[in-house]
Amino acid sequence: MTKLKGYMGRVLFIDLTSKTFKDFPWTDEDRDRTIGGKIMAGDILLNHITPNMKAFDEDNWLVVTTGPLTGCNSPSSSRFNISTISPLTNIITSSNCGGRFGYWLKRTGFDGVIISGKADVLTWVEITEDDVKFHEVPEMAGMLTTEAQKHLPTGSGKLVIGPAGENKVLYSCVFSGERTAGRGGVGAVFGDKNLKAVTTYGKKEVEVYNKEKLDKINAQWTKTLKNHPITGAQLSKLGTAGLVAPMQAHRILATKNFSDGRFDNFAKVSGEKMADKYLVANAGCNSCPMKCERRVMFEGKNIKGPELETLGLLGPNLLNDDLEKIIKWNYELDELGIDTISAAGSVAFAMELNEKGMWDNGLNFGETDNLSEIWEDIAYRRGIGDDLANGTRIMSEKYGGKEFAINAKGMELAAYEPRGAVGHGLGYATANRGGCHLNAGYMVVLEGLGLNVDSYTTKGKAGLTVMFQNVMEGASAAGFCVFTSYAILPGFVVKRPSSLIAKIVNTVMKYSLPVTFIFDRLPMLLPINVPIMQYPRVISAATGLKYNFGKFLRAGERGYNTERLANVILGQPVSKDADTLPGRLTDEEQVKGDSKTKVPLEVMKKTYYKLRGWKDGAPTRKTLKRVGVRVPECAKEVFLYD
């Protein structure tokens, strides 16, 4: 139990092998130290894993966690997290999701659920306030994600996998409604455990510490989000798809397997085109004022439209300018339970292998009429789909082409071409879960998609990357959508990018390393609350914990180091070579003859590691002690640095 508010005070532990359940010990000190969400999950996994444990080991845990603000009606706070060992990367993945599952999990009285073991037959786990029931559901085998959810009780939180998860596609997803825990292959871990579905239902209310204060902050923050040019205008009007045009302008729109940053026919797959021809409504997660989800009509169905990553990677990156096909494929991939980012990246890589004569697979850039069949082949591991289901890294080990296998740590990159935003490239390389734009710190929003800090300079980029990684880590742990962090950027600068004050702000950011050093290494020197950073104030009002800006940044830093240490224990090489990008991005110029159009990764990494207190990509004992990570006994077997 807990003396704190915002939390329900219990964590559920389920063993699928024995069909038993019990409470998992989690104290108020643990809650204060981790906030919740992905930091909580990372701490739980760090103290469970053993060296070289694998994703499909029976003792690999699925850790589903909420944040203290989940269910408290704060803006954009309906998120929950699933962490586990990824079958795609062999290190920790944390997959964040909207939908309603987290809300209903808290209403059952639990802040999180840990799932261990392996069921004998395909199983649906039903969690209520008073009981956990294990239902054998062989009849659900092969069900698509929508059909599977219709098979479950209405009015409950739902997690399901599709055929791809059952067949252990290494980048298969878990779905809650139409929202996706999309990256790292959490669906494959569900499938390996014979876990088709989890449902939650309860009537417990989430109590908050100071409702009057929380309501006041929520109202102020909602107003800020609605009035900001990114969260209130761009995301509401065009969704994430609205980024296609500015990405084109800044040479960061991944094109033809990241061989370029611009696509001549970009307008045909843009957010503007989708709004003009297909959009029927805006939608969004619980308590979200941004409503960035696009509802589109396709073949008489009102369905979720594709996000920016899907548009970019199934469009320009395949040399495809047919938006209707992308809408169709997005729906098909969701139904099969497949991550659109990794699927698209894997197909683009296979197309280039075929183009170079390295793998005769029949896939060609610009020829996409057969891709609906390819998605099914991936989901059921048929024909070339069996190779594609393993992702680009494993395919490159079989067929060659590692220099253009576009991944980091085994995870395919999002749609931002980092040679047009080199700080974002640093984030890709250093992200704990691999080629993720959000775990990377989303530096591209400073390098053209919000502010205009010089896209090609290395100055300031390491410090800003660390700071934004820590901020997003903390925001996610509390239960917030990381899109809320865009409102940190001064709106007047975003609105007038060519103004004198915008130029001054961008220049100051370029030379901000001394300031970000304090944020990154000495956050406890900042026992203040910053008006544009609402997260600490909201956490305090909801829980009763005493959070300020410095403590919030330290929690994010702690979470980042926790996952990094777990990765070292799992066998990630303790070497700077682990934090890397494929040669195409670091060695080849995007614009021929322009040496600045490649990612100067090694230069930025040196500063990044100093700020993190890491040596060759691993946190030292001194750093772990400074940030408050609990180091497990098994770390002594692999730990190299004092």
CB 155 within 8 A of CB 177: no
CB 36 within 8 A of CB 477: yes
CA 550 to CA 535: how far, in whole Å?
A: 11
pLDDT-derived band of residue 204, with 50, 70 and 90 as boundaries?
A: very high
CA 551 to CA 518: how far, in whole Å?
A: 13
Based on DSSP, count helices (H) and strands (E) in the chain, helices before strands: 26, 19
CA 214 to CA 204: how far, in whole Å?
A: 20
- Looking at residue 89, its pLDDT comes to 97
Tokens for 61, please give them.
């845990």
For residue 135, pLDDT beyond 80: yes
pLDDT-derived band of residue 251, with 50, 70 and 90 as boundaries?
A: very high
CA 459 to CA 480: how far, in whole Å?
A: 30
For residue 611, pLDDT beyond 90: yes
Q: Which of 318, 309, 320, 322 is nearest to 354 (CA)?
A: 318
Q: Which of 56, 609, 170, 62 is nearest to 411 (CA)?
A: 170
- Looking at residue 1, its pLDDT comes to 82
For residue 575, pLDDT beyond 70: no
The model's pTM: 0.96
- Looking at residue 288, its pLDDT comes to 83
CA 381 to CA 297: how far, in whole Å?
A: 30
Lowest mean per-residue pLDDT among 130-139, 166-175, 205-214, 480-489: 480-489
Q: Rounded to a whole number, what is the distance in angstroms from the first to the last CA of the chain? A: 37
Which residues are 15's β-sheet partners? 20, 116
Q: pLDDT tens, 160-192?
A: 999 999 999 999 999 999 999 999 999 999 999
pLDDT-derived band of residue 552, with 50, 70 and 90 as boundaries?
A: very high
CB 86 within 8 A of CB 92: yes
pLDDT-derived band of residue 367, with 50, 70 and 90 as boundaries?
A: very high
Average pLDDT, the chain: 94
Lowest mean per-residue pLDDT among 1-15, 77-91, 411-425, 491-505: 491-505
pLDDT-derived band of residue 574, with 50, 70 and 90 as boundaries?
A: low
Which residues are 412's β-sheet partners? 407
DSSP conformational letter for 136: E
Q: Which residues contact 607 (CB under 8 A, 6 or more apart)?
A: 458, 462, 463, 513
Read out DSSP for 345-397? HHHHHHHHHHHTTS---S-BTTB-TTHHHHHHHHHTT-TTHHHHTTHHHHHHH
Which residues are 159's β-sheet partners? 198
Q: pLDDT tens, 261-283?
A: 999 999 999 999 999 999 888 88
DSSP conformational letter for 306: P
- Looking at residue 640, its pLDDT comes to 66
Tokens for 144, please give them.
């698509």
- Looking at residue 533, its pLDDT comes to 85
- Looking at residue 78, its pLDDT comes to 86
DSSP conformational letter for 418: G
For residue 518, pLDDT beyond 90: no
